[in-house]
Amino acid sequence: GLAGTPAKHVVRNIDPATRSVSVDEYPDANVADDVSGRGPCEATYVLAAILSHVHDPSSKAPKGGHLIAHARTGPTDWHLFNDFRVSRSSASEAVHFDKVWRTPCIMYYERVGLEGVVPVPAYVSPITEEAFFTPNAYGRDPHAKNFGFVPLERGQIPGSGSSVAIDAEFVSLGAEETEIRSDGTRVIVNPAHFSLGRVSVLHALDPNGATAPNTGTAFVDDFIVTPDPISDYLTQFSGIEAQDLDPRTSTKHINSLKAVYLKLRLLLDRGVVFLGHGLKKDFRIINIFVPPEQVIDTVELFSIQRQRKISLRFLAAILLDLDVQIETHDSIEDARTAWLLYQKYLELQAHGTFQETLQRIYHIGRLHNWKFEAGHMHDLYLELHRTQTPTETEEGVYYDPAMPDKGESSETRAEGEGEKVGEVNLQQTVFSG
């Protein structure tokens, strides 16, 4: 019999091409003694998922390896679920087994034709509020005052309609490896490999869209300990130093990747809106999908189509008169700055001056090559408020007639996309999860 149904089955045909099984399905438990008068009906089951054990002799796991799952997500689409990493796969890869390293444990089939007939139970997340209250694996007390955040109490977890500000920093597990071919072209042999190093989450708006006494206060600031060897802490861009992620020496609130992921996933499942700057990259690092309606990204709000993206530091200087990221990055500071930029965005929209202000920002940015000296952010702030509105060309590029500027093409590298790793190439990367 096939698992999950009360009926018995007699196999008619197995089609390796479609990975389906056609059977005679009997409604009664005993095929040989079917006295119900209801004969068998033909049914087709298709392979929908496979759970496999991957053998790894170097693994410290009890069984010398771990479990992975392949799931069919479309007529011809398959995805691989390997711990926290989710990647596209294929049907041929899903059914390729090798007794040396991969053994199938469960093969799950679905009956064809029952879509819309058999009710699908409502999704209930297995992640509960205990994600925020489970004892820390490294013995850290989140209520300790030196950690710089205020942990949530029961009943305080943000829910649907609330928004939080978030920022992530990461470390490098391996630099990009390239080679030069005989024709002079540069080829990436092994992409850069990054791992999540720190995540900070701050209170923003309540469900009514209003600020609260704790707005701008961090309730998560976790430094993630990874078992993989770290080749570069990217301290200049992440603010993370070697001792911060070492359980023996760290004075930070260190945590495991799984514990951090469960917190973020709980907020996601509860309908919380995430606010930040350059979140697309951060979510890739965290390896979590957030629906667009639950994302407010200031790098997109303050942008003109086909123009470069603007860094958080430049926007903070010219709009908020703040000098951030002076020597390094701090995820709490960056998340709070993104929140303040969103407040400024709402203010400009309410006054009907957002588009005009954005045009001025791009104009000033090009004049200064999108750079300014530390301590001189006030000059940019003053310049924004005294600059005349630049004109618009037929191509939609804004410039000052007195200083010709053809703007930048859509191929110009976006400042802010890669600002955390300087010259590290993020177009070809592998993120650890």
Q: At what angle do helices 312-320 and 331-351 cross, to 10 degrees?
A: 50
User: Which tokens is 221 given?
Assistant: 């600031």
Average pLDDT, the chain: 80
> φ and ψ at 374, to 5 degrees?
-55, 135
Q: HEC states along 69-130?
A: EEEECCCCCEEEEECCEEEEECHHHHCCCECCCEEEEEEEEEECCCCCCCCCCCCCCCCCHH
The predicted structure's pLDDT at residue 401: 41
pLDDT tens digits, 256-290: 999 999 999 999 999 999 999 999 988 987 888 89
Residue 166 banded pLDDT, cuts 50, 70, 90: very high
| Average pLDDT of the residues in 405-427 | 40
pLDDT beyond 80 at 210: no
| Cα-based distances in Å from 322 to 126, 169, 373, 377 | 42, 21, 13, 7
Contact yes or no for 89/70 (Cβ under 8 A): yes
CA distance 171 to 241: 10
Q: How confident is the model at residue 62 (pLDDT cuts 50, 70, 90)?
A: low
Proportion of the chain above pLDDT 70, given as a percent: 76
**Residue 217 clears pLDDT 50, i.e. is over it:** yes
For 364-396, how does the pLDDT look when each residue is reduced to its tens digit (9 = 90+)? 999 889 888 776 778 888 888 885 555 555 445
Q: Are 224 and 256 in contact (CB under 8 A)?
A: yes
Among all chains, which residue has been given the structure tokens 């170097």?
58
Give the Cα separation of 10 and 131 in Å (integer): 46
> Are 233 and 274 in contact, with CB atoms under 8 Å apart?
no
CB 415 within 8 A of CB 309: yes
